[in-house]
Amino acid sequence: MTEAVKAGDMVSINYVGKLEDGTVFDSTEGRDSFQFEAGGQGVIPGMSSAVVGMMVGDEKTVEIPPTEAYGDHNPELVIRVANDRLPENANVGDVLSDGSPNSPQWMVVERTDADTMLDGNHPLAGKTLIFDVTLVGIG
């Protein structure tokens, strides 16, 4: 008899993660399966709970709202900083931090001659995530 995933089980999944417009933002294709504890905290809450009840070989599509993924986009984490306070070579798309453990990371989203706009939100904050998931192992 095949067992269903219970909270606390270690699981292995293959997945394709997409945005609502179909843009793929992550996938296990060409990589090892992703392993985590079902119902645990090593993965976004929506994925952690989505695998509970699945059996090896099961496939499903899971739609995860921002509150169960990376949270809502927080406008207070978007700031302007004078360019003389940043590395000269900081360009749009770069991620900056002070290098210390657990240091916040800031993405450069706009740069003018005088200042730079930084966004401290996770790049997927505020987005609904859609995952095509296949459970490949328990334990």
Q: Are 127 and 72 in contact (CB under 8 A)?
A: no
DSSP conformation letters of 73-135: --GGGEEEEEGGGS-TT--TT-EE--SSTT---EEEEEE-SSEEEEE-S-TTTT--EEEEEEE
Looking at residue 100, its pLDDT comes to: 80
pLDDT-based confidence at residue 23 (cuts at 50, 70, 90): very high
Q: For Cα atoms 10, 133, 36, give the angle at the middle one, nearest 5 degrees.
A: 20
Q: Is the pLDDT of residue 124 over 90?
A: yes
Average pLDDT over residues 25-44: 95
Domains of the chain: 10-71+125-138 (3.10.50.40), 75-119 (2.40.10)
Phi/psi at 47 (5° precision): -75, -40
